[in-house]
Amino acid sequence: MLILGIRIRWRVLDQGTFFCPSCGGDRKYAHKQAKRWFTLFFVPLVPLNAVGDTYECHSCHRTFNERVLHTPTTSDLASRLQWAMRLSVCSMVLDDDPHHQPSRQAAIAAVRSTGATHYSETHLDADLRAIDLTQLSAAAEHLADDFEPAGKEHYLLTSGRVALASGRLSPTNHATLEQLGRSIGLTPAHVHGVLHQLIAEAAPHPLG
């Protein structure tokens, strides 16, 4: 007697890294597809139609749909932030004397604060010579959807404090920071508050 049937089989289409909502961090995943097979005596013989895709975390083994890939990984976010910070600190330094040591040290510290702990004077010199500052607004815009207001404010304040290391906040610095605030998605009132804080930090403090 023939025993005919249909069986669902899964196969791995691809593998990669994603931000797992269950684990709360970057994890490896397997992209799997389910397909119906015609079976004879329980042995799959003829592939039929695909019935669904899923993305399975290698760590927690939970499965998700394709939308999970729309969330950037922690590594992607760090890279975006580091690039945006390199651009902004170069803009601040180049508005004054690029050899001013306090400004240079503030710029290096700002980039290192994003996790790029290897960033050095050599890297800064290379950036000051070659970096394309026309990319600054676009780099900030790429952070707008992925960072909370507190993170955006911290980015803007850190950039502004590089300018303050020269002893002042120039009109060009002020205009650049305003544009950065808009690009990163802060409200005009929030940007104004950050700039007011920077101006207050730049003001000389009375003695006594």
> How does pLDDT run along the chain (208 residues), one tens digit per residue?
556 666 667 788 899 999 999 998 999 999 998 877 666 665 666 666 666 788 999 999 998 999 999 888 989 999 999 999 999 999 999 998 999 999 999 999 999 999 999 999 999 999 999 999 999 999 999 999 888 899 999 999 999 999 999 888 899 999 999 999 999 999 999 999 999 999 888 776 454 4
Residues 33 and 94 grouped into a single domain: no
- pTM as predicted: 0.77
Residue 85, pLDDT score: 97
- Please check whether residue 207 lies inside any domain of the structure: no
Residues 59 and 99 grouped into a single domain: no
Q: What is the largest CA-CA distance in the chain?
A: 102
What stretch of H or E contains 109?
helix 101-112
**What DSSP designation does 135 have?**
G
Residue 153, pLDDT score: 94
Q: What angle do CA 161, 165, 166 make, to 5 degrees?
A: 130
Dihedral sign of CA atoms 20, 30, 33, 41 in order: negative
What stretch of H or E contains 63?
strand 63-64
| Alpha-carbon dihedral angle through residues 166, 172, 175, 177, given to the nearest 10 degrees | -30
Residue 5, pLDDT score: 64
Residue 76, token pair as written in the block: 């992607």
Residues 147 and 83 grouped into a single domain: yes
DSSP 12-31: EEEEEEEEETTTTEEEEEEE
In terms of residue numbers, what domain contains 84? 74-202
- Please check whether residue 208 lies inside any domain of the structure: no
Residues 97 and 180 grouped into a single domain: yes
Domain count, the chain: 2
